[in-house]
Amino acid sequence: MPNSRWPVAANISLLFHEVPLMQRPAAAAREGFSAVEMWWPFASAEPASSEIDELVAAVEAASIPLVALNFAAGDMAAGDRGLLNNPAKTAQLRTSVEIAVLIGERTGCRLFNALYGNRLDDVSNAQQHEQAASNLAYAGRAAGKIGGTILVESLNMAENPRYLLPRPADAAQVVLTAHARGQPNVALLADVYHWAAGGDDPATAVGVYAPLIAHLQVADYPGRHEPGSGGVNFEAIYAELQRHGYRGVVAAEYRPAARTEDGLGWIRCPTLDGVTP
């Protein structure tokens, strides 16, 4: 894998599914990725210290940086999409924040993704947003101790009908509100797949929200497979990133159509290839 304009990270919660999670950092390193990222990798919000040690050891043994890590988001397989807005789950969320920051201290990870949450029927929208703001402030203070940044992202409504931030504008507003409240280390995660699936043109949205973006994830639409497998104009996206001086990571957060290794040709496309940051 050649040098690229931006470091390319493998989301090992989706890529290298052929091997167990703890073997995936090494698999990503063998394929030439610059870094890895992952969703919350534990079964609970408060894993045993041995589980944390195993994760850190796997990353260190692979000699590949962990650049982004999600906080606990509930039972994702059952449809949960984050805990920020849920007063009943605040203790769980904050426990995972402290653990994620600890992992960040040990690995150098400085980006932490906080999924916002699904709409609750028994709590007003205003109360949910205020709870989320309070939890974002807590996470921002915790991450700030190690120079970390909290990421907020939108998820498309077609697949996540109850998620409270369905469009880029919704997530951007949360980021701007955090800034207005004195929390500068909250930023936007630009997820190309969710933006396209929600009806936004990703390149246009990157141009609009570039000053707020601290991290970018790529997957094509439809299908959520490798870039180049669907209809997203990635060249236009990369051109907007370059125009706005993006200095972050391009993270591969897609579901491989077959074996992960067989679908990595997109990284060698002329738009990404050949220029180091």
pLDDT digits (tens, 9 = 90+) for 110-145: 999 999 999 999 999 999 999 999 999 999 999 999
Residue 65 sits in a domain of what CATH number? 3.20.20.150
Residue 1 scores a pLDDT above 50: no
Whole-number average pLDDT of the chain: 95
Q: Is residue 175 part of a domain?
A: yes
Q: Is residue 135 part of a domain?
A: yes
Asked if 186 and 140 count as a contact pair (C-beta separation under 8 A), the reply is yes
Asked if 29 and 23 count as a contact pair (C-beta separation under 8 A), the reply is no
Q: What's the pLDDT at 4?
A: 63
**How many domains is the chain built from?**
1
Q: How confident is the model at residue 2 (pLDDT cuts 50, 70, 90)?
A: very low
pLDDT, average across residues 219-233? 98
Q: Is residue 3 part of a domain?
A: no
Q: What's the pLDDT at 21?
A: 98
Which amino acid does the sequence have at 76?
M
Taking alpha carbons only, the member of 215, 214, 218 closest to residue 255 is 218
pLDDT, average across residues 73-102? 98
Residue 269 scores a pLDDT above 90: no
Domain that holds residue 211: 8-268
pLDDT, average across residues 219-237? 98
Q: Is residue 2 part of a domain?
A: no
Q: Is residue 277 part of a domain?
A: no
| Catalytic residue flag (residue 253) | yes
pLDDT, average across residues 164-192? 98
Q: Is residue 273 part of a domain?
A: no
**Taken in order 106, 110, 111, 114, is the CA torsion positive or negative?**
positive
Chain CA centroid to CA 267, Å:
19
Q: Is residue 80 part of a domain?
A: yes
d(CA 118, CA 126): 14
Q: What's the pLDDT at 3?
A: 43
* 155-to-158, 159, 169, 220, 228 alpha-carbon distances in Å: 9, 8, 11, 15, 21
pLDDT digits (tens, 9 = 90+) for 208-222: 999 999 999 999 999
Q: What's the pLDDT at 178?
A: 98
Per annotation, catalytic residue among 37, 153, 226, 240: 153
Q: Is residue 76 part of a domain?
A: yes
First-to-last alpha carbon distance for the chain, in angstroms, is 16
Write down the pTM of the prediction. 0.96
Asked if 128 and 85 count as a contact pair (C-beta separation under 8 A), the reply is yes
pLDDT, average across residues 183-201? 98
* 73-to-28, 103, 191 alpha-carbon distances in Å: 24, 17, 17
Q: How confident is the model at residue 36 (pLDDT cuts 50, 70, 90)?
A: very high
| Catalytic residue flag (residue 235) | no
Per annotation, catalytic residue among 37, 226, 240, 253: 253
